[in-house]
């Protein structure tokens, strides 16, 4: 029973419960009882209508949003209201990173020269395949080992993700080391779900999820960039899997110590 049901029915019961009265004859008592029964039926019917409206109205008002989110595909009218779990359910695919045989060289992804934009004052080199890149011309360098806020020991490096103007939608970023077992974690920073401000969350995250509106392509198809960082245990060959609404890209890069 809802809170409104309890309040309404309590009021009804107070209204229809007879107060003790003085002596009366049997006929008068029967007439009062009949009138009371009629009043009870009317009030209970009114209470039922109020409760039904209280239950039905939110359902009716939210039916448009619910139908959009439960259809399996988000549209422009529902993307802004969708939470991270809903966005993730639409774009997440099984994680399938490439693997390397013993002695095989790191098959780094090609680089591409991108035009100025997204905070870059001139053309710059980025590694990857449209629409997602990491701004880098060579291997990603690493700093010294340090202890992060969750007590882990990592070597980290700032990176910049770049999304070109051909895509406007959410992005899920995950990855790992592919030349041998080893973790790859990420800095949750501007634009990513869970970012709370400042220099970012210094607890290495297993994945990054960027929302619909932070990755909108502008009408002229310009670039977007998002500062982040990677955490690894050691240098080696690493890969990202980047999932979006209509693509799943693998980006391979080398980390040098």
pLDDT in tens, 30-66: 454 445 445 444 444 444 433 333 333 333 323 332 3
Question: How many domains is the chain built from?
Answer: 2
Residue 156 lies in a domain: yes
Residue 78 lies in a domain: no
Judgement on whether residues 143 and 64 belong to the same structural domain of the protein: no
- Give the range of the structural domain holding residue 166, as residue numbers without chain letter: 84-256
The pLDDT confidence band at residue 211, using thresholds 50, 70 and 90, is: confident
Q: Which of 44, 70, 96 is the last residue of a domain?
A: 70
| Residue predicted with more confidence, 14 or 144 | 144
Residue 76 lies in a domain: no
Concatenating the DSSP letter of every residue in the chain gives --HHHHHHHHHHHHHHSPPP-----HHHHHHHHHHHHHHHHHHHHHHHHHHHHHHHHHHHHHHHHHHHHHTSS--TTTGGG--HHHHHHHH----------TTPPP-PPPEEEE-SBTTBSS-EEEEEETTEEE--SSPEE----EE-TTS-EEEEEEEEEEE-TT--S-EEEEEEESSSS--EEEEE-TTBTT--STT-EEEEES-EEE-TGGGPPPTT---EEEEEEEEESS-EEEEEEEE-SS-EEEEEEEEE-
Judgement on whether residues 137 and 56 belong to the same structural domain of the protein: no
Judgement on whether residues 55 and 97 belong to the same structural domain of the protein: no
Q: What percent of the chain has pLDDT over 90?
A: 52
pLDDT in tens, 228-237: 999 999 999 9
Q: Which of 30-44, 134-148, 215-229 has the lowest mean pLDDT?
A: 30-44
Residue 100 lies in a domain: yes
The pLDDT, as a whole number, for residue 155 is: 96
């Amino acid at each position: 029973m809802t809170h409104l049901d309890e309040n309404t029915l309590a009021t009804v019961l107070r209204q229809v419960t007879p107060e003790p009265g003085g002596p009366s004859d049997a006929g008068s008592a029967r007439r009062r009882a009949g009138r009371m029964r009629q009043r009870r039926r009317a009030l209970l019917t009114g209470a039922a209508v109020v409760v039904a409206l209280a239950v039905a109205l939110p359902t009716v008002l939210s039916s448009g949003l619910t139908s959009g989110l439960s259809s399996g595909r988000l549209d422009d009218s529902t993307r802004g209201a969708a939470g991270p779990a809903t966005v993730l359910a639409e774009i997440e695919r099984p994680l399938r990173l490439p693997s390397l045989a013993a002695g095989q060289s790191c098959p780094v992804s090609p680089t591409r020269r991108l035009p100025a934009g997204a905070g870059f004052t001139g053309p710059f080199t980025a590694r990857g395949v449209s629409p997602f890149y990491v701004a880098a011309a060579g291997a990603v360098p690493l700093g010294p080992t340090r202890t992060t806020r969750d007590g882990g020991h990592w070597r980290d490096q700032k990176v910049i993700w770049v999304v070109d103007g051909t895509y406007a939608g959410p992005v899920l970023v995950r990855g790992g080391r592919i030349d041998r077992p080893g973790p790859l974690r990420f800095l949750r920073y501007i634009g990513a779900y869970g970012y709370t401000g400042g220099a970012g969350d210094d607890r290495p995250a297993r994945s990054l999820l960027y929302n619909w509106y932070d990755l909108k392509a502008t009408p002229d198809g310009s670039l977007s960039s998002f500062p982040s960082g990677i955490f690894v245990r050691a240098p080696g060959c690493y890969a990202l899997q980047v999932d979006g609404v209509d693509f799943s890209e693998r980006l391979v890069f080398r980390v040098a110590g």
